[in-house]
Chain A
Amino acid sequence: MTTTVAVLSGKGGVGKTTVCASLGLGLALQGHKTAVIDFDIGLRNLDLATGSHRRILYDFINVLEGEAALGDALIRNRHCDTLYLLAASQTRDKSALTEEGVGRVIQQLGDAGFEYILCDAPPGMEHAAKLACHFADQAIVCVTPDTASVRATDRILGLLQSHRIDNQPDTLHEYLLINRVNQFHLDSGAALTTAAILETLAIDLLIEVPECNRVAAAWSEGKPVLADTESAAAVALRNAVAILSGQPIKPVVGEVKPAGLLGRLRRR
């Protein structure tokens, strides 16, 4: 049984790649064979986030174009040997991404025993992002607690809905991940509250991830922040992993969790 998860956002830079790398590592650390795929062709980043950037021989496009076997393009993570990366091409054109090709790769990963496939999409709902969702069972939509990001999120949720109406049965489940929640901004009224965001977007909450200054360090080390035992963001991300994989979660200290919602998020 393979679960495919697309990580999306309306606006860019809200933390998709950070989240995707961490969730991938978290699921892999639980022993699940996990692949993270970078759909951000031309602007690849997931290789940096997972510390694999100097070991890319073949990439996703090479595989799609039949220039490399999938097994040769998958890069095993240095820190965790059940985590694999399929890197984006930095040089090639994203027109090589086709529905047929992406479907084939996801099918092959399933056949190879991968339990989780995480797709790191570019922002918005263009071609590559649509394809990242096309085969997904779940979509994690990342947002930051500001009006512009919430508006853009609403927009892509609408586009996602139209895309699905046109193309596939309504089996995709969307969850919201609110990233960079900052208590200081909340107290000063500069940030939108989670309640206000959920009221506007009307979708289920996966988790709130706090603003955390260890995230930058994690990027420069090439080790997803989830592995950082000192990080507040890591605590939330580990809980998100638990929710995704149906494990009990540890309460996040100092935050009120809407228990009713979490109960509903268990994997179907």
Chain B
Amino acid sequence: MSAHSDTSVAGDQQPAINSQAGAVEVKGNMVTMMSVLLHSTDLQQIETSLADRVKQAPDFFSNTPVIVDFSRVEITETFNFKALFKLVRNQSLMPVAVRGVIGELSDRLQLAGVPIVETAASERSDTTDRQTSNSRVGRTSSLVVDKPVRSGQQVYARSADLIVLTQSNAGAELVADGNIHVYGALRGKALCGVTGDSDARIFCTTLEADLVSVAGRYKILEEIPAAVRNKPVQIRLSGEQLLIEPL
């Protein structure tokens, strides 16, 4: 759409008014989606722990689409997928696809019409591997946004840092493969290192976000300590832990 080939600023874009284009347009989209990563195949256990998680932020999770990720568990022939999806839906999450299924199981799910998404290369490897695959080679540029990023807009900096000169507002989403800098209030969601760079960081002048994430680890509003809210901070990963530190 705009001058950037590698990066895009998207709202709910509708085709240009009165365009003569066909009835559909097929577009590539980069969507950040939450996943439910299973550590157990016991439905009872899954239900309890998912309910716990959702209870912490019911608004945040209401009708959120999720990918159910089986990559950390061993699935048996008899596993009841139907019951699993049902219990996920009961927590007002919307399972839209599965990930991390292989072989015959994958065929079976496909036959049942369950969409399967590929596991991203950067996520397939374990933490140590990820470090090496995360070399900054290929991160060539940064995307500078000089207008406020508003509710309903998503800005994605592909293979780049995202630099917002003013602010982002509630309902906006900042997404970057690299770092995110916001020289003003950071509201809405900010996800850096989305393709797996665990060295990526978020910097902002005032932290007012609903969700912040580095390489897939995230914290929601309720988990952000009051001491760092409305403060200048940096957000980074230390091992598996997401740290929010005053600047």
List residues of A whose CB falls within 8 A of some B CB: 98-100, 127, 130-131, 134, 151, 154-155, 157-159, 161-162, 165-167, 200-202
B2 CB–A CB distance under 8 Å: yes
Q: Are B16 and A166 in contact (CB under 8 A)?
A: yes
On whether the beta carbons of A165 and B1 are closer than 8 Å, the reply is yes
CB distance from B165 to the nearest CB of A (A): 11
A151 engages B167 (CB within 8 Å): no
Scan B1-42; emit 1 where CB is below 8 A from any A CB, else 0: 110000001111100111000000000000000000000000
List, in ascending order, chain A residues with CB within 8 A of B148's CB: 157, 201-202
Min CB distance, A20 to chain B, in Å? Answer: 22
Contact with B11, one of A98, A127, A134, A158 (Cβ below 8 angstroms): A158
The digit string for B155-170, where 1 denotes a CB below 8 A from any CB of A, is 0000000000011011
Partner of B17, one of A131, A165, A200, A201: A131
Cβ-defined contact, B151 with A154, below 8 A: yes
B12: A residues at CB distance < 8 A: 159, 162
**CB <8 Å contact, B17 and A151:** no
The A contact surface, by secondary structure, is helix
- Leading 7 A-B pairs by shortest Cβ distance: A158-B150, A162-B11, A155-B151, A154-B151, A158-B153, A202-B148, A154-B150
Which residues of chain B have C-beta atoms less than 8 A from A100's C-beta? 18
Who on chain A is nearest to B169 by CB?
A: A154
Contact with B152, one of A127, A158, A202 (Cβ below 8 angstroms): A158
Cβ-defined partner of B13 (8 Å) among A151, A166, A200, A201: A166
* 28 A-B pairs whose Cβ atoms sit less than 8 Å apart in the complex: A98-B18, A99-B18, A127-B17, A131-B17, A151-B171, A154-B150, A154-B169, A155-B150, A155-B151, A155-B171, A157-B148, A157-B150, A158-B151, A158-B153, A158-B172, A159-B11, A161-B11, A161-B147, A162-B13, A165-B9, A166-B13, A166-B16, A167-B16, A167-B17, A200-B169, A201-B148, A202-B148, A202-B166
A162: B residues at CB distance < 8 A: 9-13, 153
The distance from the CB of B68 to the nearest CB of chain A, in whole angstroms, is 31
Most buried by A among B1, B11, B13, B167: B11
B153: chain A residues at CB < 8 Å are 158, 161-162
CB closest chain-B residue, reference A127: B17
In angstroms, how far is the closest chain B Cβ from the Cβ of A144?
17
Docked Cα-Cα span, A158 to B149, in Å, equals: 7
Task: Kindly state the separation between the CA atoms of A154 and B29 in the bound complex, as whole angstroms.
Answer: 23
Bound-state CA distance A99–B19 (Å) is 10
Residues of chain A lying within 8 A (CB to CB) of residue B17: 98-99, 127, 130-131, 134, 167
> Are B1 and A202 in contact, CB atoms less than 8 angstroms apart?
no
User: Measured between alpha carbons, how far is A200 from B168 in the docked complex, in Å?
Assistant: 9
A98, A131, A200: most-surrounded residue (chain B CB, <10 A): A200
Is there contact, CB below 8 Å, between B150 and A161? yes
- Distance between Cα atoms of A9 and B167 in the complex (Å): 21
Bound state CA distance, A131 and B150, in angstroms? 21
Interface string of B80-118 (1 = CB under 8 A from A): 000000000000000000000000000000000000000
Known contacts A130-B17, A200-B169, A151 near B10 by CB under 8 Å: no
Which residues in A have their C-beta under 8 angstroms from that of B166? 202
